[in-house]
Amino acid sequence: MSVLEIRDLHVTVETEAGATPILNGVTLTVRTGETHAIMGPNGSGKSTLAYAIAGHPKYTVTSGSISLDGEDVLEMSVDERARAGLFLAMQYPVEVPGITVTNFLRTAKTAVAGEAPAIRSWTKDVKQAMANLRMDPKFAQRNVNEGFSGGEKKRHEILQLELLKPAIAVLDETDSGLDVDALKIVSEGVNRAKGETDLGVLLITHYTRILRYIQPEFVHVMVKGRIVEEGGPELADRLEEEGYDRFLDADTPVD
């Protein structure tokens, strides 16, 4: 049982104009076995929350806290966060030039587990996970994210999720750029991880579409860097019908 606790989190981002406040007091608790959706209009700060949890250097936590099982996440390096059981799939994953998917996965597994996986069982696990995600075995020899299509990037993320077996996963816009078939395959992967390891999921999404496949027990609406409404799955249904209009005043830019 793991618990990720975010308390009254304030985050600024460095822009040319200086430090700009983006998150203005976000409080949220995610436990293993739970699925939470954070929904909200574009520009509301959803990705900023993901980056803050990940420890991206551009995002500064000015007050509040993030802890995992009582340990201060903000004091941890990015590697330590992964070792502690956090998994972050970013909206815009970076290319890792010259490193193949196979080597990347093995290095990541070694870093997270603290020791290199036994070759034979690892090779089998990778093959099985790739087959589960209907990935061509040749994909393993490609360089990470180099020329990956949107769908390949997402599948590669879920491949990592299946193999690294984190306690809590933060998935930012895992649905973006996926056609329905790919969305189903990716969602099945997340659901498999939930079933096998009692994964806790923080699913960040603008659209309700993915929530048909990965069903959240808790839905949080973020607007202007704050959680403005919380509920169960029925809240997602309501957002699907009504959109975010009722949360926005006329002068709020929505891109």
- From residue 14, give the alpha-carbon distance in Å to each of 9, 11, 102, 119, 209: 17, 10, 35, 43, 32
Size of the site for ligand ADP (CB under 6 A): 12
**Which residues touch 96 (CB under 8 Å, ≥6 apart)?**
104, 143, 144, 145, 146
Binder among 2, 35, 47, 208 for Mg ion (CB under 5 A): 47
Sheet bearing 168-172, strands edge to edge = 86-89, 168-172, 200-205, 35-39, 218-223, 226-231
Residue 83: C-alpha distances to residues 24, 151, 173, 227, 238 (Å):
28, 27, 23, 28, 38
Q: Is 110 in the site for ligand ADP (CB under 6 A)?
A: no
Segment interacting with ligand ADP, rule: CB under 6 A, options 42-50, 142-150, 152-160, 186-194: 42-50
Q: Of 22 and 144, which CB lies nearer to ligand ADP in the complex structure?
A: 22
Taking the complex as a whole, the smallest distance from the CB of residue 44 to ligand ADP amounts, in Å, to 4
Does 43 contact ligand ADP by CB under 6 A? yes
What's the first-to-final CA gap in the chain, in angstroms? 39
Q: How far is the CB of 45 from ligand ADP (least distance, A)?
A: 4
How near is the Cβ of 49 to Mg ion at its closest, in Å? 9
168 interacts with, out of Mg ion, ligand ADP, none, CB within 5 to 8 A per kind: none
As measured in angstroms, the least distance from the Cβ of 46 to Mg ion is 5
CA 38 vs CA 34, 50, 104, 181: distances in Å: 13, 10, 29, 23
* Candidate ranges 23-31, 43-51, 118-126, 132-140; the one touching Mg ion (CB under 5 A): 43-51
Runs of H (alpha helix) within the chain: 46-54, 78-84, 101-113, 119-132, 150-164, 180-197, 233-242
Contact with Mg ion (CB under 5 A) among 20, 42, 110, 128: 42
Taking CB under 5 A as the criterion, which residues in 62-91 touch Mg ion? 91
CA distances from 177 to 105, 118, 207, 216, 233 (A): 23, 35, 12, 21, 23
Is 64 a binder of ligand ADP (CB under 6 A)? Answer: no
Identify what 45 binds: ligand ADP, Mg ion, none; CB under 5 to 8 Å per kind: ligand ADP
| Closest by Cα among 206, 168, 209, 167 to 186 | 209
Of 39 and 182, CB closest to ligand ADP: 39
73-102 footprint of ligand ADP as x/- string (CB under 6 A): ------------------------------
Judged by beta carbon distances under 5 to 8 A according to partner kind, the member of ligand ADP, Mg ion, none in contact with residue 15 is: ligand ADP
Contact residues for ligand ADP, defined by CB under 6 A: 13, 15, 22, 40, 42-48, 58
